[in-house]
Amino acid sequence: MAGSTMFSLHTREPLNPRFGEVSLDILTDILSNLNNRNKSNLESVSDFCGCLKERRIVECVFHLCEELGLNPAVGYQAIEILERFMAKYIEHLIRSQKGQVGSSEDTGKFEELIFQTLKKKFFLSILSSVQIASKLDLYSNVVNNDIAMRFLQAVGYPCSKEQLLDSEILVLKTLNFNLNVPNPLTYVETLLEVLGHNDASVPVAQLHHLCVRVLQFIYLQRETIYNSLLKSATGCSSPSHEQRAKFVSVTEDFMLLGVGVIAVAAFIHHISTWEKVVEELTGITGISGQSIMDFAYVTLMHITKTKSV
């Protein structure tokens, strides 16, 4: 998408976070809040969590953000909004048709109807999620309906302004306007802030630059990386359905993802000090150094395209 459109948008340059400006009290509260929300999310995970973080969808969101000149955080926020919206929207569609399904033939027609409904609205749902996420980000450009329409016209997607507005309203109402959901980059940046506060010698700004790229890589290779982690954890080349179901609590753990991303960035930046960074991350989060290094090892294995022994 990014290389095939003629769309251009005059935007301000994305801003990088400025570290070291938040007081320890506020920082402690933020980290505690993120930790509590992460634990709460992990208590309610289902087998379907992460289904909309499939590579093609992630690529689409990232390309949209690139075309629209948005900060990386907007993309991750949009993915979280999209996944939660689709889960609730599908549930709504199923409930609305449940009483009308009788025979197996009716069930087949019902499933096809849901599929066609989702297929028809899906790209607009992605764009609406990006629009909403852009409005939640303090440092990014806001993608209003005029900009979104210009983009749709540039890529040749037929859509009226009314349809675009209806799509955004549908996402907002389906989520009951509950949009304050942390994204993985928030965890990474908060942990970096704490890391820099605890040890002034840690090159936080340089690590942040690397972390943004490492996190993007992990999201684009999400299935492959977590599958390797699952095989490593279970010692099985073909994990069972039960093992995969239990592992969802690992794939949806943003705190683990955050420390893993920073550990990989620290390894790339300066291998001689990365164990010290891992030790600090363990002290901050309580996640064992072994778990952090296992995550980093598997990720680095895929970055360098080497095979585990």
**Mean pLDDT per 10-residue segment, the chain (309 residues):** 47 60 84 93 76 88 92 92 89 71 59 77 93 86 90 89 94 91 92 91 91 95 93 86 87 95 95 91 95 95 73
Question: Token digits for 168?
Answer: 């955004």
For residue 230, the tally of other CB atoms under 10 A from its CB is 18
Confidence at residue 242, expressed as pLDDT on a 0 to 100 scale? 86
Same domain, 216 and 132: no
pLDDT at res. 14: 54
Report how far residue 146's alpha carbon sits from residue 159's, in angstroms, rounded to the nearest whole number: 12
Domain-ending residue, one of 175, 197, 224: 175
Domain boundary (121, 150, 175) is at: 175
CB neighbours of residue 262 within 10 Å:
32
Is 22 within a domain?
no
- CATH, residue 165: 1.10.472.10
Q: Which residues of 191-222 are buried (b: 16+ CB within 10 A; e: fewer)?
A: bbbbbbbeeeebebeebbebbbebbbbbbebb
- Examine residue 63 and state whether it is found in any structural domain, yes or no: yes
Residue 25 phi/psi, 5-degree rounding, is: -60, -50
Q: Which residue, of 157, 175, 193, is where some domain finishes?
A: 175
What radius of gyration, in Å, describes the C-alpha atoms of the chain?
Answer: 21
* Residue 208 structural domain: 184-306
Residue 141 contacts residue 134 (beta carbons within 8 Å): yes
Assess if residue 68 is contained within a domain. yes
- According to DSSP, residue 202 is labeled S
Residue 209 sits in the same domain as residue 278: yes
Q: How far apart are CA 49 and CA 52, in angstroms?
A: 8
Closest-CA residue to 131 (of 171, 188, 176): 171
Query: Which of 114, 136, 8, 122 lies closest to 60 in space, CA to CA?
Result: 122
Q: What is the pLDDT of residue 51?
A: 76
- The pLDDT value recorded for residue 10 is 47
Pair (163, 271) in one structural domain: no
8 Å CB contact between 57 and 220: no
In a domain, residue 228? The reply is yes
Q: Looking at the structure, do residues 112 and 227 belong to the same domain, yes or no? A: no
Can you say whether the dihedral through the CA atoms of 171, 173, 177, 181 is positive or negative? Answer: negative
Number of structural domains the chain divides into: 2
Find the angle CA(121)-CA(124)-CA(128) to the nearest 5 degrees: 130
Indicate the pTM of the whole model: 0.87
Residue written as tokens 């099985």?
A: 236
| DSSP designation for 238 | S
For residue 82 the two structure tokens come to 């999209």
Please indicate, yes or no, whether residues 171 and 201 belong to a single structural domain of this protein: no
Q: Can you read off the two tokens belonging to residue 180?
A: 């304050």
Claim to verify: residue 53 and residue 70 sit in the same structural domain: yes
